[in-house]
Amino acid sequence: MWNPEVETMSRSDLAKIQTERLQKTVARVYQNVPFYRQKFDEAGIKPEDIKSVADITKLPFTTKQDLRDNYPFNLFAAPQEEIVRVHASSGTTGKMTVVGYTKNDINTWAEVMARTLGCGEVTKKDIVQIAYGYGLFTGGLGVHYGAERVGAIVVPISGGNTKRQLQIMKDFGTTALACTPSYTLYMAEEAAENGVNIKDLPVKVGFFGAEPWSNNMRRDIEEMWNIKAIDIYGLSEIIGPGVSSECLEQDGLHVWEDHFIVEVIDPETGEVLPDGSKGELVFTCITKEALPLIRYRTRDISILNHEKCACGRTHVRMHRVMGRTDDMLIIRGVNVFPSQIESVLLEIGETEPHYQLIVDREGNLDDLEIWVEVSERLFSDEVRRLEELEAKIRREILSVLGVSARVKLVEPKTIARSEGKAKRVIDRRDVYRQE
């Protein structure tokens, strides 16, 4: 355990810390962020009204839309000279969600990630290969600072370059791997093609997250690699990876509650649900300085469990993410909203407004195919024109969303019509399937 004192702290001590930190954070955002001051005023809430952590339910929610409306820096609660880093992820309509960190925030991030790696018993004797993307995405650098904090040897290889990943694992003696779960499957395939027996590699534990995966997939990965596969969860808005992590019991992810208060709500009514009920995860950052979001609605669906865990940690466990309340897809690690694709198509304006996204896993890599209807006239035009238009759409999608897709222009009426909500997405990956 990285920080046994905190990780096994009594629930009553945790509640005390949470109350103090929540009060401080609420005062901070009320003071420094006009958006929150106005929101609290409208709700008739003053920072002094927060007497204990239970009063959190009096506070209004924050949404992704609020981040977008305040793009890029207007929700920051620290002066610009104290911000030392920004990260970003894609938003629903092309505008990014920008998040900021002070020096202390980076420090907090390293701490929660050190705990996360400690959940898989990583110590300074380990070699951690980080195959999450580095850059605006939080995965690479988030794990990086945690692994350095632990004192392990960090191999900051980032994503891709699969042959070299395997070579390094073997030559350097990598003992811990961090990447998306789907990338491990892809690496396994590449290894088989190159005669590398991954079971013989020195890797003993993997920290996998950033996209939904199932318990079945975990079993496959563990068996294929002969490792322990740990589910790690987080989102840029809250800090990045390091919001919660499974321990070796693999029975729910411990939320680092001295930094993040978690609630599960009914996504329709906003009502807070008790342990055991399925609903939307909501997080409040209580130690962040640059971007302490209050009651942030994640749209991720899960269940909370306050029972004591056999590992000895007292921090509440969330069930692995069971779905989303919106239509966000994660394709090769990139968050994609169908509405972003729609706006690219409308912007180009040469197709009909009927489209469908078909997501599948081809040879263990996510595959996105976009079917778009074109007019009868265009469809019967020369093949070259159709190919040009397909290429144009593909280029635009890649440049706006950062994800490559196959585009298929189809005849009018090919895509099934619906009398209700259009079925825009067919996801054959079955990522949220449990057991």
Contact positions vs ligand DLL (CB under 6 A): 89, 132, 138-139, 209-212, 231-236, 240-241, 298, 300, 321, 330, 335
Between 2 and 233, name the residue whose CB sits nearer to ligand DLL.
Answer: 233
Rounded to the nearest angstrom, the gap between the alpha carbon of residue 220 and the centroid of all alpha carbons in its chain is: 22
Between 166 and 282, name the residue whose CB sits nearer to ligand DLL.
Answer: 282
Least distance to ligand DLL from the beta carbon of 429, Å? 13
Q: Which residues contact 104 (CB under 8 A, 6 or more apart)?
A: 287, 289
Least distance to ligand DLL from the beta carbon of 60, Å? 20
Between 15 and 328, name the residue whose CB sits nearer to ligand DLL.
Answer: 328
Between 9 and 187, name the residue whose CB sits nearer to ligand DLL.
Answer: 187
Which of these, 175, 152, 171, lies nearest to 163 by C-alpha position? 171
Q: What are phi and psi of 85, to 5 degrees?
A: -160, 145
Rounded to the nearest angstrom, the gap between the alpha carbon of residue 327 and the centroid of all alpha carbons in its chain is: 14
Between 237 and 373, name the residue whose CB sits nearer to ligand DLL.
Answer: 237
Helices (H), 125-174: 138-150, 162-168
Element spanning 37, H or E = helix 34-42
Least distance to ligand DLL from the beta carbon of 182, Å? 11
Residue closest to ligand DLL when measured from CB atoms = 209
Between 89 and 129, name the residue whose CB sits nearer to ligand DLL.
Answer: 89
Least distance to ligand DLL from the beta carbon of 139, Å? 4
Between 156 and 412, name the residue whose CB sits nearer to ligand DLL.
Answer: 156
The strand pair at 176-179 and 205-209 is best described as parallel
Helices (H), 135-283: 138-150, 162-168, 181-193, 215-225
Alpha carbon distances (Å) from 171 to 127, 132, 202, 255? 11, 20, 10, 35
Structure tokens at 75: 């929700």
Between 32 and 250, name the residue whose CB sits nearer to ligand DLL.
Answer: 250
Least distance to ligand DLL from the beta carbon of 5, Å? 25
Between 108 and 236, name the residue whose CB sits nearer to ligand DLL.
Answer: 236
Least distance to ligand DLL from the beta carbon of 311, Å? 18
Specify whether the CB–CB gap between 177 and 203 falls below 8 A. yes
Least distance to ligand DLL from the beta carbon of 310, Å? 21
- Phi/psi region, residue 43 (left: phi>0; alpha: psi -120 to 50; beta: rest), is alpha
How far is residue 203's CA from residue 122's CA, in Å, rounded to a whole number? 11
Least distance to ligand DLL from the beta carbon of 370, Å? 22
Least distance to ligand DLL from the beta carbon of 306, Å? 20
How far is residue 175's CA from residue 420's CA, in Å, rounded to a whole number? 51
Element spanning 361, H or E = strand 355-362
Which of these, 286, 364, 242, 246, lies nearest to 53 by C-alpha position? 286
